[in-house]
Chains A and B, each alone.
Chain A
Amino acid sequence: MDGVKYTGVPSAEELASCPGIPSEERMRKGRVACVECVQEIPCNPCEGICKFQAITVGEQITSLPCLHEAKCTGCGLCVANCPGLAITILDKSFSETEGTVDFPFEYLPLPQKGEVVDAVNRAGEVVCKGTVMAVTKAASYNGTAVIRLRVPITCVDEVRSMKRLPRTNMKGV
């Protein structure tokens, strides 16, 4: 059976009706949040962390977060602050052929800038190679790193994380 309740992966229908997904047009313009929160759970840190009121949940905190794509600057504060790790920043304006995906990552070791890694989809399947553009660990991220991967533009809709790196040669852990 299809859907997050059965597979852990939101179905195409669930994503299509999710109010947190930006339009193709908006992604073409530049960095924008993609909030893949498809179940009504009591949670609203995304709304509070956004300085631009680009994500709203409202009084009823089980409501699905709603993205107001025109207000979103793609700053990425929400990515590390979503307890469900359900938010990414997508950008299809990077070049004609490539786009970027920023996603939260809580495994060690972290990749290095410039490293080429296996980019995975929502089901953990490798879909393409990605080049690490940035690894951000701001204090306000509270222990969650945010990785920015450059991937073929056709893969931006699919890539949501990267394969964990082997724990050999880990330094300082």
Chain B
Amino acid sequence: MKIKEVDIAVVGAGSAGLSAAYQAALAGAKVLVLDENRLPGGQLFKQIHKFFGSRAHQAGTRGYTIGHQLLERVEKSGAEVWLNTLVYGMQKDCSLGVIHDDQHWTIKAKKVIVATGAKENYLAFPGSTLPGVMGAGAAQTMINVNRVLPGQRILMLGSGNVGLIVSYQLMQAGADVVALVEAAPNIGGYGVHAGKIRRAGVPFYISHTIKAVTGDGQVEHVELVQVDKMFKPIPGTEKTFDVDTVCLAVGLNPMTELIWMAGCKFCFIPAFGGHVPLHTEDMETTVPGLYVAGDVTGVEEASSAMEEGNMAGVAAAEALGFLTAEDAEKKKVEIRGRLNILRSGMFGERRRTAKTSQLQSMSDYQAQKGGVQ
């Protein structure tokens, strides 16, 4: 077993992790980024659409371009990046168990930033295990990273931005999307994303869900059924489509396994995808020296993940004395301002309320702990 000591270890080389690594290395910290994938960038390199947000967030720039820019900045900052690297565990002292180049390493870092992202939810229905039923994120990886079209006639379940964007990209890749199905009584994602696929002729079935998928060894048909306000199927409303692929865009949940191991305290916030770690505005968890950033703190989107990464990187560097309190605060004020903008408006409101409640849970925890001592 080999041991490596660094100032700051970052787990995950996606939007949040790379941003954190950049900020910390820029401040002068010795930073090591660990990622299990062959390529860095997390989900950024499969985002071929133009991003929303403010011009400060490079709105109008395609996701993969933002990924390249971020990667270039990280490389110049001097942070070290280990790819094909599995982080299988974390001790109470936050040292990391790592397999890198077929060797077992222990990474001892003064501060650890966990930016492991999120994973796709699945949905069970008769036929949901047939080949051809897959996550929308998986389909997006197939078309935009591996250049493989998963099918020709596709049905998408879920009308959040992931379902809408991946439907659009599947058509760009040459498939037909025969229907977009949503159990809720309205479309979940942005109207402009819905408008794009509607102009391409895709019908929306709101208040509908999948009753069953059938086929001989693979997806051949999908049966939809309308649901009432309580999401109960309404008999007699079934419709059948011939399809070869069914994509599920039914939400994501934070990848929290590592931070559970470290003993972080959690709260349950459905709007964020489930159990999320309590953390301060500096992104530090209830375990001193352990920071979190991005979707692992609650599922949002790439721009927010980058800003949380910036915050964690600045705060961890400050805690180690690489930034003065004054310099750090200047950066934090800017980051907080940009985060507030990203969590504003009719679509941001739910996430802002969720984040406020998460921060409040942390304050309550700290107050309680302070009281006991």
| Listed residue (A49, A121, A143) with the most chain B CB atoms within 10 angstroms of its CB | A143
Q: Which of A83-124 contact B (CB under 8 A)?
A: 83-86, 106-108, 120-124
A120 touches B52 (CB 8 A): no
A6 touches B206 (CB 8 A): yes
Total chain A interface residues with beta-carbon distance under 8 A: 46
Whether B230 is near chain A, meaning CB under 8 Å from some CB there, is no
Which of A24-32, A37-45, A130-138, A149-157 lies at the interface? A37-45
Whether A7 is near chain B, meaning CB under 8 Å from some CB there, is yes
B207 smallest CB distance to A (angstroms) = 10
Task: Tell me which of B52, B172, B198, B204 contacts A42 (CB under 8 A).
Answer: B52
Task: Tell me which of B201, B204, B345 contacts A40 (CB under 8 A).
Answer: B345
Task: Tell me which of B55, B191, B199, B346 contacts A120 (CB under 8 A).
Answer: B199
A104 smallest CB distance to B (angstroms) = 9
A160 touches B199 (CB 8 A): yes
Whether B171 is near chain A, meaning CB under 8 Å from some CB there, is yes
Q: Which of A137-170 contact B (CB under 8 A)?
A: 142-144, 160-161, 163-164, 167
Given contacts A7-B204, A10-B191, A41-B192, contact A83 B346 (CB under 8 A): no
Q: In the complex, what residue of chain A is closest to B191 when comparing beta carbons? A: A4
Q: Please give, as numbers and ranges, the residues of chain B lying within 8 Å of A7 by CB-CB distance.
A: 198, 204
A37 to B344, CA, bound (A): 17
Q: In the complex, what residue of chain A is closest to B345 when comparing beta carbons? A: A62
A111 smallest CB distance to B (angstroms) = 15
Q: Please give, as numbers and ranges, the residues of chain A lying within 8 Å of B190 by CB-CB distance.
A: 39, 41, 84
A102 smallest CB distance to B (angstroms) = 14
A43 to B60, CA, bound (A): 9
A45 to B194, CA, bound (A): 19
Task: Tell me which of A85, A123, A164 contacts B192 (CB under 8 A).
Answer: A85
A10 touches B50 (CB 8 A): no
Whether B348 is near chain A, meaning CB under 8 Å from some CB there, is yes
A123 touches B200 (CB 8 A): no
Whether B197 is near chain A, meaning CB under 8 Å from some CB there, is yes
Q: In the complex, what residue of chain A is closest to B60 when comparing beta carbons? A: A45
Whether B350 is near chain A, meaning CB under 8 Å from some CB there, is no
Given contacts A5-B187, A83-B59, A107-B172, contact A43 B198 (CB under 8 A): no
B191 touches A42 (CB 8 A): no
Whether B193 is near chain A, meaning CB under 8 Å from some CB there, is yes
A43 to B186, CA, bound (A): 22
Q: Please give, as numbers and ranges, the residues of chain A lying within 8 Å of B119 by CB-CB distance.
A: none
Total chain B interface residues with beta-carbon distance under 8 A: 39
Q: Please give, as numbers and ranges, the residues of chain B lying within 8 Å of A38 by CB-CB distance.
A: 191
Given contacts A8-B194, A124-B198, A142-B50, contact A45 B345 (CB under 8 A): no
Q: Which of B44-77 contact A (CB under 8 A)?
A: 49-55, 59-62
| Interface residues as binary, B204-215 with A (CB distance below 8 Å gives 1, 0 otherwise) | 101000000000
Task: Tell me which of B59, B174, B346 contacts A44 (CB under 8 A).
Answer: B59
Q: Please give, as numbers and ranges, the residues of chain B lying within 8 Å of A1 by CB-CB distance.
A: 185-186
Whether B305 is near chain A, meaning CB under 8 Å from some CB there, is no
A161 touches B199 (CB 8 A): yes
Q: Please give, as numbers and ranges, the residues of chain B lying within 8 Å of A4 by CB-CB distance.
A: 187, 191, 194-195
Whether B268 is near chain A, meaning CB under 8 Å from some CB there, is no
Given contacts A40-B346, A84-B192, A124-B198, contact A49 B60 (CB under 8 A): yes
A6 smallest CB distance to B (angstroms) = 6
Q: In the complex, what residue of chain B is closest to A84 when comparing beta carbons? A: B192
Q: In the complex, what residue of chain B is closest to A49 when comparing beta carbons? A: B60
A163 touches B201 (CB 8 A): yes
Q: Please give, as numbers and ranges, the residues of chain A lying within 8 Å of B206 by CB-CB distance.
A: 6
Whether A50 is near chain B, meaning CB under 8 Å from some CB there, is no
Whether A81 is near chain B, meaning CB under 8 Å from some CB there, is yes
Q: Please give, as numbers and ranges, the residues of chain A lying within 8 Å of B187 by CB-CB distance.
A: 4-6, 8
A143 to B47, CA, bound (A): 14
B342 touches A123 (CB 8 A): no
B54 touches A123 (CB 8 A): no
Q: Please give, as numbers and ranges, the residues of chain B lying within 8 Å of A48 by CB-CB distance.
A: 55
Given contacts A7-B204, A84-B190, A107-B172, contact A43 B199 (CB under 8 A): no
Give B residues with C-beta under 8 Å from A. Answer: 49-55, 59-62, 171-172, 174, 185-187, 190-202, 204, 206, 341-342, 344-348
A-B contact pairs, 15 of them (CB 8 A): A4-B191, A8-B195, A8-B197, A8-B198, A8-B204, A10-B191, A37-B192, A39-B346, A42-B53, A42-B347, A48-B55, A62-B345, A62-B348, A83-B51, A124-B198
Give A residues with C-beta under 8 Å from B. Answer: 1, 4-10, 36-45, 48-49, 60-62, 81-86, 106-108, 120-125, 142-144, 160-161, 163-164, 167
Closest CB pairs A-B (n = 8): A84-B192, A62-B345, A8-B194, A124-B201, A8-B198, A4-B191, A45-B60, A83-B50
